[in-house]
Amino acid sequence: MAASAMASSSSSALLRRTVIASSSRHCASTSSAARLTATAQRHNSTSTSESSSASFPRPLPPLSKLTSRRGREPAPPSRIKPTTPTFFTAKPTYISLVLKLQSLLEQSRSLLQSADILPRDAKPPTTEEAALYEAQAEIAAEGGDMASVSMAKAMQKVQRQSPWKKRVEMSEGLGLTLSASQYRQLATSLTTLSRYNGLVQLHFAGNGEAPTAPHLGGAAVDQGTKLAQEMQSTLDEHRRDLGLNARRGDGFTTKSGVDEQGRIWAVGGRKDSSARVWIAPVSQATSGAEESQLPVGDILINGSPLSTYFTRQSHRESIVHPLRLVGLVGQFNIFALTSGGGHSGQAGAIAHGLSKCVVRYFEEKVATEEEGSVKREEWEKLRAGVRSTLAKDGVYKRDPRMVERKKTGLAKARKAYTWVKR
């Protein structure tokens, strides 16, 4: 009996402790839940008040508060808006010019195609066609007959050298240093734009006939007129002045001219040698005994006769070779000053300068005759024949071949040292 009483009392005590622990845990969980509920209610009330206050636009402060304390006007913004979209590029002026030329090309191409002047996907006009269109536009501006313009007259104004400014001049205009590839890209874009310029000036500059396109309205014609003016101003801005040669428009040979005594001079080069050559026509003999004899011109090299300065026959033959090609041996007195390189390079430089002198001689004959005269046409045919003959032979153009430089680790340009294993 005593054992049973002790077991019952212990079980009741254990039950009592379990009930007390469970009740205490329930109270703790209830109080924590109450605290969380209160915190959530406060958070919701705060967010509701903020959202309600942010939903309405706040009034701007008065202008008096925007001014400085001394009553001055509002301060300017700290960052000024860039004037061009290429402001943050490495070379903004160069990129702006490239984008402008591309835009003019696209506008001119689409305008000519929409006016049915050029077919779709057509290549730009050639240099000869562009020169003819520009000549016709000039004649139409003066009120003349465009049919009177021939290809030969138009090609007289085509310059053989590049008509655009040199890289140094264009770099100074843009305010930066242009690389060779960047200058080449600008020159190519300008040349392509000039080939479209003739057609645009002829049809939309107000000088020639309007394009016969039924779907082309007055707005398109006005747009074409503005485009023609912008194209012409852009090309004139980057065109370089070639001096007397450009003003006369005769297309003279580069690095040549006429001195005060009337002698033709030109500069030639070969390898590391350079030469300046003068020629003067030999006066024809008037006596009957000398009429049957061909005049023989003297050739002086650095003040010495040709046979004295050049002892090799091959060098002497290479100098006289341009005259033999065109059949003018003995027709000119020749004097040359040469320096640099050896005898082979100097002989090539003199031959190059002599061929340029001969072509320049005929160009001067063409320029002195009146426009449209028979003599001018004859001299023009002779000039074209002489120049084509010398150009086909290759003596009219400077020989670009040079000695290849020595390489590091090699005996010469390509010769290597004998390889030794050990």
pLDDT at residue 38, rounded to an integer = 61
User: In this model, does residue 153 exceed pLDDT 70?
Assistant: no
Q: Where are the alpha helices (DSSP H) in 165-294?
A: 167-174, 180-204, 218-238, 244-248, 288-291
Structure-derived torsion over alpha carbons of residues 181, 182, 185, 187, reported in degrees to the nearest 10: -100
DSSP state letter for 164: B
Instruction: Report how far apart, in Å, the C-alpha atoms of 49 and of each of 38, 39, 307 are.
Output: 17, 16, 111
User: In this model, does residue 374 exceed pLDDT 70?
Assistant: yes
Interval 361-369 mean pLDDT: 90
pLDDT at residue 10, rounded to an integer = 56
Interval 191-208 mean pLDDT: 79
* Helix, strand or coil, per DSSP, at residue 300: strand
pLDDT at residue 33, rounded to an integer = 53
pLDDT top residue among 41 and 123: 123
pTM recorded for the entire structure: 0.49
User: In this model, does residue 356 exceed pLDDT 80?
Assistant: yes
For residues 21 and 29, give the distance between their C-alpha atoms in angstroms, rounded to a whole number: 12
User: In this model, does residue 109 exceed pLDDT 60?
Assistant: yes
Helix pair angle (127-141, 180-204), 10° resolution: 40
Beta-carbon contacts of residue 305 (< 8 Å; ≥ 6 apart) = 298, 299
Q: 267 φ, ψ to 5°? A: -110, 130
**Given pLDDT bands bounded at 50, 70 and 90, which one contains residue 132?**
confident
Helix, strand, coil percentages (3-state) for the chain, rounded to 5, are: 55, 10, 35
CA 296 from chain center: how many Å?
Answer: 49
Q: Which amino acid is at 298?
A: D
230-251 as b/e, with b when 16 or more CB fall inside 10 Å? Answer: bbeebbeebbeebeebbeeeeb
For residues 251 and 267, give the distance between their C-alpha atoms in angstroms, rounded to a whole number: 17
pLDDT top residue among 404 and 297: 404
* Helix, strand or coil, per DSSP, at residue 362: helix
Domains in the chain: ranges and CATH = 92-248 (no CATH), 256-282+295-393 (3.30.230.10)
For residues 87 and 97, give the distance between their C-alpha atoms in angstroms, rounded to a whole number: 13
Q: Find, among 223, 225, 165, the residue nearest to 190 by Cα.
A: 165
Interval 323-330 mean pLDDT: 93
| Tokens standing for residue 193 | 């734009």
Beta-carbon contacts of residue 200 (< 8 Å; ≥ 6 apart) = 108, 111, 112, 224, 227, 228, 231
**Given pLDDT bands bounded at 50, 70 and 90, which one contains residue 396?**
very high
For residues 103 and 93, give the distance between their C-alpha atoms in angstroms, rounded to a whole number: 15
pLDDT at residue 268, rounded to an integer = 95
For residues 354 and 332, give the distance between their C-alpha atoms in angstroms, rounded to a whole number: 10
By residue count, the chain amounts to: 422
Cα of first residue to Cα of last residue in the chain, in angstroms, is 115
Q: Where are the alpha helices (DSSP H) in 262-342?
A: 288-291, 306-309, 313-326
Task: Express as a percent the part of the chain with pLDDT over 90.
Answer: 38
**Given pLDDT bands bounded at 50, 70 and 90, which one contains residue 43?**
low
pLDDT at residue 71, rounded to an integer = 56
Judging by beta carbons within 10 Å of its beta carbon (0-12, 13-18, 19+), is residue 293 exposed, middle or buried?
Answer: exposed
For residues 254 and 355, give the distance between their C-alpha atoms in angstroms, rounded to a whole number: 12
DSSP state letter for 166: P
pLDDT in tens, 245-276: 443 444 577 788 888 888 999 999 999 999 99
